[in-house]
Structures are given as C-alpha cells and as structure tokens.
C-alpha cells in the first residue's frame, strides 16, 4: 500500500515538474501587443510615434491605464518582434534590447508598466532567429528564460520561425519548464501548432494543454475582413478537433483583435469582438490606442461582451449552424439554471452581401436550447436591453446587416 502511494506521489511530483501548471490565465488573457498595427517599424527618425521603441510601450501602458481599458480587463502590454539588437552580448551571450530604441533598458520599461498596474509581455522565437531576423532562443534557452525573469517579464510569446518543426514537440515544453524553473510566474504563449499543421503534422493538443497557457493555431491575422473570416472559417471547420481543448489555463488563440485599425468597419469590428468572445479567445488588441475612435473604443470596452469572453466556466463556443448564409455561433456560459442547463451567448453572423438587413427566425429548439422554463434574453450590443422571456416553442427573430452581427445572452431560467 505504502509502496503504491509512494510511487503515485513520485509520479505526481514528476508530473508537476514536467507540466507548466503555473496557475495563470484562468480566463483568456487580455492586453495589447505591437505586431498587427506597428509590425517591424524601426525607423524612429521618420516615424517617431510608430517605431518599436520604449516610448511606444510606455505610451500604450499609459493609455491602457488612463483610457478605461485596464479597468475593462486589458492587462498585458506585450512587445512583439523587432525589439532586439542583431547580436547577443559578446561576453555574457545574453539577449540585448535595441540600444537606440530602448535606451533605458527593459527593466525600466517593466517598472513603468508595473507601476501602471499592468503586466509586461515579451516576444521571442524557438529557432535560430525571430521571424523578422533577430536572435532566437535555441541553444540559449536556460540563459534566456532567466534573463526574461530578471527583466520582470510576466508573459512570453514564443514564435517558431527558423526552427526545426520536428523539435518543437519537445523544445517548447522544455522552454516552458525553464521559465517555470526561474520561479517567476510567466504566461506562456506557444506557436508550435501554427507551424506544425501547415507542414502536415497534427498538433498534440493534450501536450499543448499541459505545457502552454495559450497557443496560436493558425495563420497570422491581417487588417481585413477577408483575413478575419479566413481564420473564423478555419476554427469552425476544425472545431471538433480544436474546441474541446480550450479551458481555464489553456486557450486556443485565433490571433489579435483588429479593432481600431484601418481594415474593419464599425459593424465588422462588432463582429470580431463577438466571435472572439464566443471562441474564448485571448483579447489582445493591436492598434494605436491614441487614435481609436470613441465608438470603436466602446466596442472594445463593452462590459457585457467582455463578460462572455471571460466567463468563469471557460468553455469555448462553436459555430452551431449556418442557415441562409447566417452563421449562428454559440457558447455555454454562467449562470447555470436550477435544472442544470447552461445559459448561452449567441451571435448571429451574416456572411451575406446582398444589401438589405436580413431577417431570420429560429425556434429555441432549432438553436438547441433545451431549458424547459425558457430563457430571458438580453441584447449585448444594446447595453443589455431586455428582450423578454422566450419559451422553447417561441420564435426568436433577429435582423442582421451584411457582414454584421447581432449578439445576445440567453439566460436559462
């Protein structure tokens, strides 16, 4: 008996040492990251307000804190690619932040971000180089994990350019272990599925769940509706394989929010925010927060939509059905009714382009809603406007504009 429990204890300890298990990201991480909007602009003379530099991240930390974003839940300020010197320090081999663009060093920047009540994220790459050609972590993993901890990093995005794809299934967990070993809790964002799958290797989601807090499943998002829909189509088509693996501490990541940039209209911005809430996706903005228009800021800070995204059950939603080119996306959320049925968030996404708003009706049964006492319905994009109680035989009607969305909470009674 003692022998068996001793072995079990040892196995548990080993498991603890081998998995990430850092207690972080119990709900999808929220924050701001530089890549989508600012890419690899390094010319600070021509573009002083846009180049990847300490001033960009200080300003964005201030804007998150001062403009209501932090209060709405956005927490991480994440430096993406192009922050490094082209070479490591010749004596210590340590990574060096670009000396001209980050003259005060990353510790000073981390202090500023932390002083504003926010958390600090940093990008690196598992290979020899980052995607933009700066030094990667391979061959220096232990040193770099410790350097990240010394810089007071709270979130690491580890990309996968210039790397052997066949090494990733072992190498990514190893870097996560090294991060943990520093004793500093760091959210760990992995990119290995986004490299494996296009190369014909199916990602091992059980391993991802154990070793990463979030992972990029698929292609980079670009600043257009076309790119956004290509990603949502990928997630919908592959949902049987992907959706079950999202949950507290481990999330699928369809990439950054485009809101506030050039490519999406007002209604398309609502569309991205709604689908990201249904998908339990990390809400990582990438925009110029100084110039986000007030109506887009309202979408980004919509508390009812954010509450769906951050729902404590942490169950990722799915595309439930498509009827007349209207997609219905659905996610189980709190509160659960006394009957044990979940409440649901439901988004009606129009893929129609034929002009007029399109009216469509469903019985609740058609939406696979089964709570015998029915549901109280609120319109999440109309400040939770109460739409009354719907029984299982009632028709629920909504009117969706081309490439638009309507978004509701069905509370099980």
Active site residues: 159, 220
35 is a contact residue toward ligand GLA (CB under 6 A)? yes
Within 13 Å of residue 340, how many CA atoms lie on the same side as its CB? 0
- Taking the complex as a whole, the smallest distance from the CB of residue 190 to ligand GLA amounts, in Å, to 11
Instruction: Pick between residue 131 and residue 283 the one whose CB is nearest to ligand GLA.
Output: 131
Instruction: Pick between residue 220 and residue 233 the one whose CB is nearest to ligand GLA.
Output: 220
> Kind of pairing, strands 251-253 and 395-400?
unpaired
Cβ pair 380, 308 in contact under 8 A? yes
Q: Which residues pair with 209 in a beta bridge?
A: none
Structure tokens at 354: 């034929």
Q: Taking CB under 6 A as the rule, which mask of x and - marks residues 232-271 in contact with ligand GLA? A: ----------------------------------------
φ and ψ of 205, to 5 deg: -70, -30
Q: Which of residues 159-188 bind ligand GLA (CB under 6 A)?
A: 159
φ and ψ of 107, to 5 deg: -65, -40
Instruction: Pick between residue 98 and residue 159 the one whose CB is nearest to ligand GLA.
Output: 159
Instruction: Pick between residue 123 and residue 362 the one whose CB is nearest to ligand GLA.
Output: 123
- Taking the complex as a whole, the smallest distance from the CB of residue 197 to ligand GLA amounts, in Å, to 13
Near ligand GLA by CB under 6 A, which window of 18-26, 91-99, 127-135, 137-145? Answer: 127-135
Cβ pair 391, 377 in contact under 8 A? no
Number of residues that bind ligand GLA (CB under 6 A): 9
Longest Cα–Cα distance of the chain, Å, equals 73
Specify burial of residue 48 (Cβ count, 10 A radius: 0-12, 13-18, 19+): exposed
- Taking the complex as a whole, the smallest distance from the CB of residue 284 to ligand GLA amounts, in Å, to 10
- Taking the complex as a whole, the smallest distance from the CB of residue 355 to ligand GLA amounts, in Å, to 35
Q: Which of residues 70-109 bind ligand GLA (CB under 6 A)?
A: 80-81
Pick the binder of ligand GLA from 131, 168, 242, 413 (CB under 6 A): 131
Collapsed DSSP state (helix, strand, coil) of residue 358: strand
Nearest Cα to Cα of residue 231 among 215, 241, 217: 217
In whole angstroms, what is the distance from residue 245 CA to residue 259 CA?
A: 26
Under 8 Å CB-to-CB from 87, ≥6 apart: which residues? 96, 135
- Taking the complex as a whole, the smallest distance from the CB of residue 118 to ligand GLA amounts, in Å, to 20
In whole angstroms, what is the distance from residue 381 CA to residue 389 CA?
A: 18
Near ligand GLA by CB under 6 A, which window of 126-134, 139-147, 170-178, 283-291? Answer: 126-134
**b (16+ CB within 10 A) / e for 246-268:** beebbbbbbbbbbbbbebbeebb
Near ligand GLA by CB under 6 A, which window of 44-52, 129-137, 259-267, 297-305? Answer: 129-137
Pick the binder of ligand GLA from 89, 220, 295, 386 (CB under 6 A): 220
- The DSSP call for residue 244 is G
Near ligand GLA by CB under 6 A, which window of 51-59, 108-116, 128-136, 316-324? Answer: 128-136
In whole angstroms, what is the distance from residue 286 CA to residue 38 CA?
A: 8
Near ligand GLA by CB under 6 A, which window of 17-25, 130-138, 167-175, 391-399? Answer: 130-138
Interface residues toward ligand GLA, by CB under 6 A:
35, 80-81, 123, 130-132, 159, 220
């Amino acid at each position: 008996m003692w022998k068996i429990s001793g072995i079990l204890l040892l196995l548990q300890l080993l498991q603890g040492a081998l998995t990430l298990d850092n207690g972080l990201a119990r709900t999808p991480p929220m924050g701001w990251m530089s890549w989508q909007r600012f890419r690899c602009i390094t010319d600070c003379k021509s573009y002083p307000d846009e180049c990847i530099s300490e001033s960009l991240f200080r300003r964005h930390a201030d804007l998150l804190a001062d403009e209501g974003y932090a209060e709405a839940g956005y927490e991480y300020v994440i430096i993406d690619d192009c922050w490094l010197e082209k070479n490591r320090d010749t004596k210590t081999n340590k990574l060096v932040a670009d000396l001209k663009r980050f003259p005060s060093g990353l510790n000073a920047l981390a202090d500023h971000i932390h002083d504003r009540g926010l958390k600090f994220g940093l990008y690196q790459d598992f290979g020899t180089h980052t995607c933009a050609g700066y030094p990667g972590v391979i061959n220096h993993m232990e040193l770099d994990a410790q350097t990240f901890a010394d810089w007071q990093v709270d979130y690491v995005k580890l990309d996968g350019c210039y790397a052997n794809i066949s090494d990733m299934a072992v190498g990514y967990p190893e870097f996560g272990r090294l991060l943990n070993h520093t004793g500093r809790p760091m959210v760990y964002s992995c990119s290995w599925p986004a490299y494996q799958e296009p190369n014909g290797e199916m990602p091992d989601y059980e391993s991802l769940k154990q070793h990463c807090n979030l992972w990029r499943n698929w292609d980079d998002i670009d600043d257009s509706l076309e790119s956004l829909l290509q990603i949502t189509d990928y997630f919908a088509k592959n949902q049987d394989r992907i959706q079950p693996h999202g949950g507290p501490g481990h999330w699928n990541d369809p990439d950054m929010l485009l809101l506030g940039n050039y490519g999406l209209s007002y209604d398309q911005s609502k569309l991205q925010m709604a689908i990201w809430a249904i998908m339990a996706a990390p809400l990582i903005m990438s925009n110029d927060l100084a110039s986000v228009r007030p109506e887009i800021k309202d979408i980004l800070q919509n508390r009812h939509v954010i509450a769906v995204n951050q729902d404590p059950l942490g169950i990722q939603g799915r595309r439930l059905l498509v009827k007349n080119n209207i997609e219905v996306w659905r996610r189980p959320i709190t509160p659960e009714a006394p009957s044990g049925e979940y409440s649901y968030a439901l988004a009606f996404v129009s893929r129609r382009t034929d002009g007029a708003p399109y009216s469509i009706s469903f019985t609740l049964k058609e939406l696979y809603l089964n709570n015998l006492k029915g549901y109280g319905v609120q319109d999440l994009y109309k400040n939770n406007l109460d739409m009354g109680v719907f029984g299982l035989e009632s028709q629920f009607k909504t009117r969706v504009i081309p490439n638009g969305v309507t978004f509701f909470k069905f509370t099980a009674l």
